[in-house]
Structure 1
Amino acid sequence: MLFYVLLRVAAAIAAYVGLAFLLALVSTVDPAQILTTIPQQPRALDPPLASKLASILAGQFGVSRFDHQPVSSLIAKSLGATIGTACVAALIASVIALPLGIAAGRIRGSIGDTALLRITLLLEAPPIFWVALLLVVLGVQLGLLPASAAQGGAGLVIPVLAFAAAIVPILMRRTRQGVAELAASEGGASGGRILIICVSALLAGLLAAIGWAVAAEPILDSAGAGRLLYQAIVQRDVPLFSGALMTLGAAAIAIALISDVLRAAAGLGGHRQGFSHELAHHGETEGAPRLASVGFILGAFLLLALVGLSFLADDPNQLNLTARLRPVASPEHLLGTDVLGRDVLARACVALRWSIGLGLLVAALATVLGAVLGTIGTLSSFTATLIRVLIEARFSLPLLLVAVAVVSVFQPGLLPIAAVLGLGLSDGPAAATLTARYPLPARAIQHQPPPAPNGFVKLTGPWLAAFFHSAASAIVLFETTNFLGLAIAPPTATFGGMLETAARFASTNPGLTYVPGLILVALVLSLLLMADGLRSTSARGRR
């Protein structure tokens, strides 16, 4: 365990220094050019890059160019709000998720376990920014809750619910996986070890909340560090941007490190290692082939329906102010129109093509890179341990924050986003390759060594599952960056861009949030169903 902890600490330090280096590069760019499509040029008379790196590592970010206040004081005021909201959300989510996760881990492979996994998939599909927007819309329509967290009191209910909805599936999966591995291990699933797993899962939930804060808090009007980072992006405030992103990143790295060490103390290794195990060798569940079929059918129906209807739709960028805000099922506009009179169906068809294309591209890139990393890991037990630690270290930095940092160094666009997502999501295929050669200790006890492959799906199931899971994750992250204005610029239609427009008119025209959000969720859910069904089918074939 000591060797693992030392490697994990070294990886955390490397992640921290790597993020600081990216932000030091950001500080060499003219504020008028940051996060825009203007070609970026270094500013003259800047301090050396090493000096800026040392200042960022020391937490010295300077003064905000917009508020004219020390960045450290602005962060100190906002970080507590983000952490506090995330902690309350995690505690509320734990009341539901932890008992269900523990029960599912003890009855793994049963009908009850299968039902809980299906619920988890449904909760994983919606992006948190759409969940937050939907809660705001419902709060306004029903008049039960204030739409802004700035009002305090009841206004904090919606942010807590939004974060809790994102944390619940994480807690359920982490707890289920941990308890199942404990039950199969030599020490068994004792109360103390289960408690450690639960604490580790809660920390994983906090980590996810920190990563998604930049997308959720601006909608919720929360005075947190995520909203501060979003304001810095909009205002091109380099010192504030660097300080907010570095603070969120450092908090995420510390939380992930503690979570991994706790799981190591329970005898399971890091939390991402357990998830990688699940990616590669998911436990058998009832109805797995039907589940994969449902995913394929849902995805094919969605694709064929929207692609076919695209020939009947109008120009997606054609403005028609006389036909603005037409409802769904209008005579000339099947899915209605937006605030500029553009046909929602036409824009949804364009957005779907972008999402599917980017998702498959990133998944292919992640599969190739992951296979290479996994092959390197199979050279020896030392390289296997090293690759697994690197996978966990990557997960300690939420991928959305990494994407924001990389885009700020270069410029917003599809290529940097695809590269970041491809690199960041390569852990699933890498884990599939690694687990085939060096199974985890719990798996060695819980499962028999895999027999000779029998059938294409049984042979390639773990890799295909990782491919579809990577595609689903890539689409969610891609549309989140579109929502933040960091990927594809308007007027090109994307689901994230459509929902960003809807967020600005949520109080007066809430219907704009439903159609693009539901199509996006259906697409992501179909990919998750395919991945989960293929994992289970592969595990069934290896019995």
Structure 2
Amino acid sequence: MEPVIQNQEIPSIKPKQKAKQGPWGMAWKVFKKDKAAVAGLILLAIMMVAMALAPFLPFADPNEVDLTNRLKPVGTEGHVLGTDHLGRDMLSRIIYGGRVSIIVGIIAVTIALVIGSALGLIAGYFRNFYDTVIMRFMDILMAFPYVLLAIAIIAALGPGLMNTMIAVSIVGIPYYARIVRGSTLSFREMEFVLAERALGAGHLHIIFHHILPNCLPPIIVAVSLDVGWMILAAAGMSFLGLGAQPPLAEWGVMLSEGQEFIRVAPHVSLLPGFAIFLVVLALNLVGDGLRDALDPKSK
């Protein structure tokens, strides 16, 4: 008898499917392709690490006065970037001054972000009376030139680093309020929000679990671009004598002190100005990269 061959099913080999990336993974993938943004991120990371580790690195005391070594040029032995009019080490003052300027910018942006986002969510979600009152107040703030409004607030509060942070943060509140309000107006009418509302979800649940997370991409881009502006604004107030006060190492103060010696020792003013330029440039490069990476229309 011939052997009976039973039909056996051959298991099919399915190709391995790649795990789907989330929106943040896709954004990082797009961001990495932008060489300018990556270069800005690396530059910003190097400066932040140097400033964070400044107390543990062999830098001189930024406020140590040595009149025998005043106005030394760049490349002087023991003072790589020279000294200022009081003999203080310029490299040390730039590093420590960067810590003050960047912290001021970050704190000011955080205050403006929290208050502006809260006002934007209330105005965009509840609309009607709340929208009218909040946005007309924002229009009043935006009617004044930013610098003049900041100077007026500092004049009312008094000069000082803390008052400078308060002033530039108040000036930045309308920026975030308008961004968040615009996003909220578009998301509140979408199907997933209407479905949550039909299921009986409360306003706070909808705002914090559905609308606010969807507002994060434009907020992140706005923050990355606004930190540089805040640093410039705070340095400008210090340059005018309204912000940080000598002998504190801060870039705006260093610019103000160095303007008297621009002809005999230009490095005293040029170096802190170049430091501000590098930080703001790096932040803008990163912000442009984030804007392209988080823009859903570009995909």
Partner of 1:506 in structure 2?
Answer: 262
2:66 matches 1:320:
yes
| Secondary structure, counterpart of 1:491 in structure 2 | coil
Long gaps (5+) in structure 1: 1-286, 440-448
Residues 299 and 484 of structure 1: CA distance in aligned 2, closer, same or farther (over 3 Å): same
Distance 1:288 1:428 in 2: 24
Question: Which residue of structure 2 aligns with residue 241 of structure 1?
Answer: none
Change (3 A) 1:388 1:538: farther
The one of 367, 392, 396 equivalent to 2:113 is 367
Out of 288, 294, 304, which is 2:49 matched to?
304
Aligned partner of 1:492 in structure 2 is 248
Offset, 1:451: 9.9
State the one-letter code of the partner of 1:320: D
The answer to whether residue 153 in structure 2 is matched with residue 406 in structure 1 is yes
CA RMSD for the aligned pairs?
Answer: 3.0
Return the structure number with greater relative CO, CA threshold 8 A, min gap 6: 2
Check conservation: 2:120, 2:177, Cα contact below 8 A. Answer: yes
Q: Larger Cα Rg: Structure 1 or Structure 2?
A: 2
Q: Matched residue of 1:317: which SS?
A: coil
**TM-aligned CA distance change 1:380 to 1:303, over 3 Å:** same
Deviation at 1:361, TM superposition (A): 0.6
Residue 350 of structure 1: CA displacement? 1.5
1:428 aligns with 2:190: no
**1:295 equivalent in structure 2:** 40
Equivalent residue for 2:279, pick from 506, 512, 523: 523
Q: Residues 531 and 347 from structure 1, CA distance in 2 versus in 1: closer, same or farther, beyond 3 angstroms?
A: same
C-alpha distance in 2, partners of 1:333/1:308?
Answer: 19
Question: 1:529, 1:392 → 2: CA distance?
Answer: 29
Classify 1:297/1:389 alpha carbon distance in 2 versus 1 (closer, same or farther; 3 Å): farther
Q: Percent identity of the aligned residues? A: 29
Cα distance in 1 for partners of 2:141, 2:229 equals: 15
Q: 8 Å contact 1:451–1:542 — kept in the other structure?
A: no
TM-score for both structures, normalised by structure 1: 0.42
Structure 1's 534 and 409: CA in aligned 2 closer, same or farther, altered over 3 A? Answer: same
On the 8 A contact 2:79/2:91 being kept in 1, the answer is yes
CA 337–428 in structure 1, closer or farther in 2 if over 3 Å, else same = same
Q: Within 5 Å, which residues of 2 pair with 1:88-107? A: none
Deviations 1:74-133 (A, max 9, x none): xxxxxxxxxxxxxxxxxxxxxxxxxxxxxxxxxxxxxxxxxxxxxxxxxxxxxxxxxxxx
Q: Is the 8 A contact 2:69 2:83 kept in 1?
A: yes
Q: By how many angstroms is 1:517 displaced?
A: 0.8
For 2:192 and 2:41, the matched residues in 1 are separated by 27
1:473 aligns with 2:260: no
Q: Distance in 2 between matches of 1:424 and 1:496?
A: 19
Equivalent residues in 2 for 1:29-68 (5 A)?
none
Residue 397 and residue 303 in structure 1: after superposition, are their counterparts in 2 closer, same or farther (change >3 A)? same
SS at match of 1:336: coil
Secondary structure (helix, strand or coil) at the match of 1:296 reads: helix
How far the C-alpha of 1:309 sits from its partner, in A, is: 5.7
What does the per-residue CA deviation read over 1:293-340, in whole Å, with 9 as the maximum and x for residues that have no partner? 333212111222344466222111111111112222222011111111
| Cα contact 1:369–1:423 (8 A) shared by 2 | no
Deviation of the 1:450 alpha carbon: 11
| Separation in structure 1 between the aligned mates of residue 214 and residue 43 of structure 2, nearest angstrom | 22
Q: Distance in 1 between matches of 2:52 and 2:79?
A: 16
Task: Look up the match of 2:198.
Answer: none
CA distance in 2, matches of 1:450, 1:388: 26
| CA offset digits 1:450-507 (Å, max 9, x no partner) | 9999xxx986221112222232221111111111111221111111111111111112
Tell me if structure 2 keeps the 8 A contact 1:458–1:542.
Answer: no
Aligned partners of 1:295 and 1:529 also within 8 Å: yes
Cα distance in 2 between the residues matched to 1:337 and 1:451 = 61
Contact 1:328 1:334 in 2 (8 A): yes
CA distance in 1, matches of 2:298, 2:128: 23
- Could you tell me the TM-score, scaled by structure 2's length? 0.73
Letter in 1 for 2:58: L
Contact kept? 1:373, 1:430, Cα under 8 Å: yes
CA contact (8 A) 1:363 1:468 kept: no
Matches for 1:134-533 after TM superposition, within 5 Å:
289=32, 290=34, 291-308=36-53, 311-378=57-124, 379-380=126-127, 383-384=130-131, 387-438=134-185, 460-533=216-289
Contact 2:71 2:84 in 1 (8 A): yes
Which deviates more from structure 2 when the two are superposed, residues 476-485 or residues 502-511? 502-511
